[in-house]
Amino acid sequence: MRKKIVLLGAGELGKEFVIAAQRIGQYVIAVDSYENAPAMQVAHESEVINMLDGTELDRIIAKHQPDFIVPEIEAIRTERFYEYEKQGITVVPSAKAANFTMNRKAIRDLAAKDLGIRTAKYAYATSYEELKKGVLEVGMPCVVKPLMSSSGKGQSTIKTESDIEKAWNYAVEGSRGDIIEVIVEAFVNFHSEITLLTVTQNNGLPTLFCPPIGHRQERGDYQESWQPAKVSDNDIIEAQEMAKKVTEALGGAGIFGVEFFLTDEGVYFSELSPRPHDTGMVTLAGTQNFNEFELHLRAILSLPIAEITLERNGASAVILATKQGTNPTYEGIDKIAMLPKTDFRFFGKPTTRPYRRMGVALNYDSVGTPIENIVEKAKSAAALINVNS
């Protein structure tokens, strides 16, 4: 049952996915826009291409003739995926899922309009004038995001009318892709936010949910994540129903990171990634019977997953670079290694820039241990590391 997998995007999430695939004898070609990307270091073969270039993508797919295409990022010419599906290649989880989530509009309209799932009030704008109208429609404060962006790029909050022009210009700068369009959505006053990792399976097997993951965001990227997050019974039922609906509509088998805001008035769907989620790196702390990468792989290969169980409480805290550089070295590994119930990953990225995620610190303890304590320990562990470059 050795399958050939083309992994599109070779970052730290891809790296853990490749390791999971290697462990059960799969064959992986890792693709990214630069050489020696994390997942390439553990794959059988690698390719360096611009994944937004459809011709380049076609060339790689024709060359390797994979059984599976596994996207790890959004910035891919996903329109081509429908054609690959026609050729009999399985796009993970489906061409539709990858294509709908590369643009915030498709997935938001699917959830809010087609499926009637609760989201923040929103509008779209293709110009500064339209944005002014949109802000009136959804009210202030509100959040502006380019439709094609991730990691908080080009995203800002409008509190007063005088912020609108700044927000438009910032979104234009942070936008990826050829069309400049933004979504403006009402600011949701959430008390917490979670990722609900949702696993869809082939052969009529049920959709499974991981225990909810809490996280804290700064500058558009997560800083700490923990599992399990405290979520009321009502909220978890509501979130699971929403996640089931939207993942079913997208189709295919694999893991989805479904993001929700929890408020006093209930759960709001925010966005979704049809692949392992960065906040799900907490599962590398052994919090579950299978980590999120193993779950993704098993679902893709149609290996039945009987259950997902919480084995430990855990937390992850990111290790960031502070400046631009190459061939980074890490100081403090001996200190972090000394800590009990602690682990770490260094991704092996060849270059640094301010705030680039270079590694992650993990802490765990038995189920039932107060999660705040575990988060604090993961944070202190991450703080022991200095990235020099």
Ligand X SMILES: Nc1ncnc2c1ncn2[C@@H]1O[C@H](COP(=O)(O)OP(=O)(O)O)[C@@H](O)[C@H]1O
Peptide bond into 228 cis (omega under 30): yes
Burial class (CB in 10 A: 0-12, 13-18, 19+), 180: middle
- Please, are residues 38 and 11 in contact by the beta-carbon 8 Å criterion? yes
For 163, the token pair is: 């912020």
Query: For the chain, where are the alpha helices, taking DSSP H only?
Result: 12-23, 54-64, 81-86, 95-101, 104-109, 128-138, 164-174, 233-250, 292-300, 333-338, 371-383
Paired tokens of 83: 């054609």
* Residues contributing to the annotated binding site for Mg(2+): 259, 271
- DSSP-based three-state secondary structure for 322: coil
Least distance from C-beta 267 to ligand X, angstroms? 13
Buried b (16+ CB within 10 A) or exposed e, 296-321: bbbbbbeeebeebeeebbbbbbbbbb
Min CB(159)–ligand X separation in Å: 12
Q: Look up residue 271 and give its two tokens.
A: 């966005």
**DSSP codes joined into one string, 88-155:** TPEESS-HHHHHHHSSHHHHHHIIIIIS------EEEESSHHHHHHHHHHH-SSEEEEESS--TTTT-
Residues of the shown chain interacting with ligand X in the complex, contacts defined by CB under 6 A: 120, 143, 145, 150-152, 185, 187-188, 193, 217, 220, 259, 270-271
What is the nearest approach in angstroms of ligand X to the Cβ of residue 379? 18
Instruction: Tell me the closest approach of the beta carbon of residue 190 to ligand X, in angstroms.
Output: 6
> Cβ of residue 152: shortest distance to ligand X, in angstroms?
4
**What would you report as the CA-atom Rg of the chain, rounded to the nearest whole angstrom?**
20
Cβ 38 to ligand X, closest distance in Å? 20
> What one-character DSSP code corresponds to residue 156?
E
Could you tell me which residues are annotated as the binding site? 12-13, 72, 104, 145, 150-155, 185-188, 193, 259, 271, 278, 349, 356-357
Catalytic residues: 150, 152, 259, 271, 278-279, 357
Nearer Cβ to ligand X, position 192 or 202?
192
Q: Between residues 104 and 298, which has the closer beta carbon with respect to ligand X?
A: 104
User: In this complex, which beta carbon is closest to ligand X, that of residue 21 or of residue 375?
Assistant: 375
DSSP SS3 for 363: strand
**Annotated binding-site residue numbers for ATP:** 104, 145, 150-155, 185-188, 193
Q: Where are the beta strands (DSSP E) in 201-265?
A: 208-209, 213-218, 221-227, 254-263
What span, in angstroms and rounded, lies between the C-alpha atoms of 108 and 14? 26
Q: How far from the centroid of its chain's Cα atoms is residue 128's Cα?
A: 29
Residue 9 falls in which region: left (phi positive, over 0), alpha (psi -120 to 50) or beta: left
Query: Nearer Cβ to ligand X, position 224 or 259?
Result: 259
CA–CA dist 197, 363 (Å, integer):
20
Strands 266-273 and 254-263 turn out to be antiparallel
| CA 176 – CA 21 distance, rounded (Å) | 30
- Find the shortest distance in angstroms from Cβ 141 to ligand X: 8
For ligand X, give the closer residue by CB, 282 or 300: 282
